[in-house]
Amino acid sequence: MPAIQSIARGTVIFLVFAMPIARGGLLGWSVAGMHILTLIAWFLLLESALLTGGSRFTHTRLDTSLLAALALGALATLFSANRVTSFWAFLLFANYLAVFHLVVQCFPSRRQRQSLVHALLGMGVLVALLGFARMSGIGEGSWLFSGHGGNLLQSTYTNRNHAAGLFGMLLPLALCMVFTKDSPGGRVLMGGVVLVLAAALVCTFSRGGLLAASLGLGHAGAWALIRRRHSRKTAVLAMSGSLLGVFLILAAAGVFFGKTPARAMYLGKEESLKARLTAWRGVLSMVADNPLLGSGPGTFSFAYMAYQPPGIAKTFHRAHNDYLELVCDAGLFVLPLIGWMAWMVVREGARRQKSVSRFTRNSVLGALSGMAALAFHGLGDFNLRIPANALVFTLLAALVAAPRPRSGQSRPGLTGAGR
């Protein structure tokens, strides 16, 4: 039934906006709410399939690797040092996979995927504007904001680096969407979105976020030149991505080497590269003691206490490297699994660049470049441990991996099983 599928799509859109507003999903009720809403959406989707006789399930080429990741997570949870903590971490991972397939099943048409892309970019603008308002002293002390943001843009997040991770994912998508619009007004509007997101990213003063976004934009520009026929729009896209990337690199250089009061006040409070390198020695010792299945999903903050080397002023509750923490949680088998999934995502992105639909080509290129930005940022941070950012990453992956969108409206119930 179309109405039921609309409710399921509305649930996904609601999560897009709600999770970043809930301090990046770190408020206790936000993850529980995501579990409940995802369960309701899947219940409605299955009910629609039963009522209309539609029972086919749309598959993606990532499904096998995702099932392997789910199986490894379940096994690591079973042998975890803290099964209760690992169960909830595993449930959160399973929720991301459920949302991934909600997008695949409920957003089969071009118009529906456009609504999802617009929701993602609208959410990014909202978070950016809230950040600018907070920097101006508006709403400081309200439930929306955590701690004292000061002169740097933190918005609704508890850490400005994670706000930067969000903007870095969405910026390549917004830039690619500029070249999807046919009307001058649409291009101007999307160009305004790019400027807002770029300004917000710079105001976070996040070193990793700025460099990661530069890489994502460079990826978009290079892919546009390499994979497509040379055209005026392709050249403009490549040039725009390159120029914006260079600007962000220069901004990152200012953060690294500048002497602004904001930088001196805030960067001194955060884990330096030297502290990270020292902490990673303890992480490697932790991996050596638990090489096969790790200490269990979500247990890093407990297990690492016994391995933290001397010479670090504060306790590391996160590895500040998404890949090392995943290995600590679930063992060395995670690494080839990550490589497998990354290869499949890139292959799907390449296939989608052959589409005759300009929206499909540009949305997939923007989503793939946003994923690349967060993957690079993960070398020195833990954005994938922030539910809102992990959710956006999941939605971008679904945009890349989902079958080519149909031009018409979707059928009620589960969609066809094509790839």
CA distance 419 to 403: 5
DSSP string, 92-156: HHHHHHHHHHHHHHH--BHHHHHHHHHHHHHHHHHHHHHHHHHHTTTTTTSTT--S--TTS--TT
Cβ partners under 8 Å of residue 134, min gap 6: 140, 145, 149, 153, 154, 155
Q: What does residue 356 show for φ and ψ, rounded to 5 degrees?
A: -80, -15
pLDDT of residue 264: 43
- Please choose, from the candidates 211, 206, 204, the residue with its C-alpha nearest in 3D space to the C-alpha of residue 152: 204
- Secondary structure (DSSP) of 300-342: HHHHGGGTPPTT-SS--SS-S-HHHHHHHHH-TTHHHHHHHHH
State the pTM of this model.
0.91
Evaluate whether 381 touches 160 at the Cβ level (below 8 Å): no
How many other β-carbons are positioned within 10 Å of the β-carbon of residue 281? 13
pLDDT value, residue 220: 85
Tell me which DSSP letter residue 408 carries.
S
- The CA distance from 18 to 370, in Å, is 20
CA distance 102 to 57: 11
Q: What is the pLDDT of residue 261?
A: 42
- Supply the Cα-derived Rg of the chain in whole angstroms: 21
Looking at residue 366, its amino acid is G
pLDDT at 165: 96
Closest CA to 204 of 241, 243, 162: 162
Distance CA 370, CA 16 (A): 16
Can you give the pLDDT at residue 298?
Answer: 95
pLDDT 10s per residue in the chain (419 long)?
677 788 889 999 999 999 999 999 998 899 999 999 999 999 988 887 777 766 578 899 999 999 999 999 999 999 998 999 999 999 999 999 999 999 999 999 999 999 999 999 999 999 999 999 998 888 777 778 876 656 789 999 999 999 999 999 999 999 999 888 878 888 899 999 999 999 999 999 888 898 899 889 888 888 877 765 545 565 566 666 666 666 666 665 565 545 444 444 444 444 577 888 888 999 999 999 999 999 999 999 999 988 988 877 778 889 999 999 999 999 999 999 999 999 999 999 999 988 888 899 999 999 999 999 999 999 999 999 999 999 999 999 999 999 987 765 544 445 444 44
d(CA 145, CA 161): 15
Distances in Å between the alpha carbon of 32 and those of 12, 19, 28, 29, 114?
15, 11, 7, 5, 28
Cα(147)–Cα(163) distance, rounded to whole angstroms? 14
For the four alpha carbons of 336, 363, 41 and 33, in that order, the dihedral sign comes to: positive
Cα–Cα nearest to 378, from 169, 153, 130:
169
Q: How many CA atoms lie within 13 A of 252 on its CB side?
A: 20
Residue 230: per-residue pLDDT? 43
